[in-house]
Copies of this chain bind each other. A is one copy, B any other.
Amino acid sequence: MEIHDLNGTACWDFLGARRLGRLGCARDNKPYIVPIGFAMRNPYLVAFTTFGQKIDYLRANPSACVQFDEINSPQSWTSVIAYGQFEELLDAQGQDEAHRALESAAWWEPGYVKTTILGHLRPADPVYFRIFVEEISGRRGANI
């Protein structure tokens, strides 16, 4: 297997075809990972979620990473990781822009208000946010 580094342009190109990322955050040096759909707006990764542990962590420590990959086999894969800062979108304009970015990324879930957990309607507590990417790197492994 040969492993190649991807430069910044190649990393963003790879992200352009992705939606699903794994968002990583940490609190008191305890890591947490959650899968989330993103819209790519270089240098931002835009997302939407409802309140939960990840937002709790990210409000306390905005240092985040998002990992994207395409893994065909242990010998054939691409993985990209973006590091950056969590920025919550609180004003109506920012939320509207995020909404439209996610809609065009075809990952938008308008039915979230109907989500139920254990039979109880999930509180509609939408959180729009973006990760300001400060550093991005990637690798690709392929058979030789």
Are A83 and B116 neighbours in the complex by a CB distance under 8 Å?
Answer: no
Shortest C-beta distance, A63 to chain B (Å), equals: 5
* Number of identical monomers bound together in the oligomeric complex: 2
A117 to B140, CA, bound (A): 10
Are A65 and B31 neighbours in the complex by a CB distance under 8 Å?
Answer: yes
Which residues of B sit under 8 angstroms from A118, Cβ to Cβ? 4-5
A112 to B83, CA, bound (A): 27
A2 to B65, CA, bound (A): 28
* One of B1, B33, B116 near A65 (C-beta < 8 A): B33
Which residues of B sit under 8 angstroms from A111, Cβ to Cβ? 1, 75
Shortest C-beta distance, A90 to chain B (Å), equals: 23
Are A115 and B26 neighbours in the complex by a CB distance under 8 Å?
Answer: no
Shortest C-beta distance, A115 to chain B (Å), equals: 5
Are B33 and A26 neighbours in the complex by a CB distance under 8 Å?
Answer: no
Q: What are 23 sample pairs from A and B whose C-beta atoms fall under 8 A apart?
A: A1-B116, A2-B115, A2-B117, A3-B117, A3-B122, A4-B118, A5-B118, A20-B71, A22-B67, A24-B31, A24-B32, A26-B31, A28-B29, A29-B29, A29-B61, A29-B63, A30-B65, A30-B83, A31-B32, A33-B81, A34-B81, A37-B74, A75-B109
